[in-house]
Amino acid sequence: MSQSLSSPPQWGAYTPSVWIERLRGFSSAQSDGYVGKRLAFLARKMALAAVSGPVDVDVFGHRMRIEPMANLAEKRVLFTPQYFDPVERDLLRRVLPGDGVFVDIGANVGAYSFFAASCMSSVAKILAIEPQPDVYQRLCDNIAYNPGVPIEPIALAVADVDGPIQLFVDSGNAGETSMRRVRSDTHSATMIEVQAKPLSSILGERDLPRIDALKIDIEGAEDLALVPFFQDGPESLWPRLMIIENSPESWQTNCITLAQSKGYQVIAETRLNVVLTR
């Protein structure tokens, strides 16, 4: 469940144009204030109008092939990485040691995993778990562009079952694929079958001394992963820090309340996520 499906095209085959690079440099240099954001988003909009396919760029110190047109997360890290979960990334940077362990559930094409890798050494362990086949292949490609990066891709959905499960794939935003629902009302969706495993089983198959941090973003199905983990997983593997996409309207069990009952405290709430530590 952790092998690339094929060899990626050679790195540098999709070098961005000078125009796109200038707009990218301008947008990524803007501040967090109102004017800075307006200028950054205007430059991003202009650049997106000129992008017709993938581009090969450095993101968080690593090579990535980015396709921003149908993946919101890729659009953000390509043109405005300074606005990509800055609070969460700052807390990760503080908690991850050089030999740390990071678990990225719903890894997409790897932005969070590569950021974690930039905070740690080559002896770290990073599990990048992504069930959608096309996105998983692109995650593997990005890992292949960075020899020695300590990221293990895992082609699984994390859920409360061990076996096949249905995914709803959003055609307009690959990052909104979900086991539970499609968030957007404007895009068509298809349903595919993928393999799922409980988180405790995935971790049990690997020799992990601990988990320093865990990020989970699986579009409203976070409770399907976290409820059985806290029931069945060893307390020694409960993460020191958790970043949870905040989707209480979709959960059958509130993940934040559950974590608090296990001794976690909320240390940050952002537009999309809740960060907890213990």
What per-residue confidence (pLDDT) applies to 175?
Answer: 57
Cα angle: 241, vertex 245, 246; to 5 degrees: 110
- Which pTM was predicted? 0.91
Domain borders along the chain are: 18-81, 85-277
Mean per-residue pLDDT for 250-268? 97
More reliable by pLDDT, 7 or 185: 7
Token pair of 7, please?
A: 């060899």
State the SS3 of 265-278. EEEEECCCEEEEEC
Mean per-residue pLDDT for 108-133? 96
State whether CATH 3.30.390.50 applies to domain 85-277: no
C-alpha 48, offset from chain centre: 21
> Three-state SS for 101?
strand
Q: Is the pLDDT of residue 221 over 60?
A: yes
Token pair of 175, please?
A: 């990052």
Neighbours of 14 (CB within 10 A): 15
Cα angle: 100, vertex 107, 72; to 5 degrees: 130
Q: Is the pLDDT of residue 186 over 50?
A: no
> Three-state SS for 211?
coil
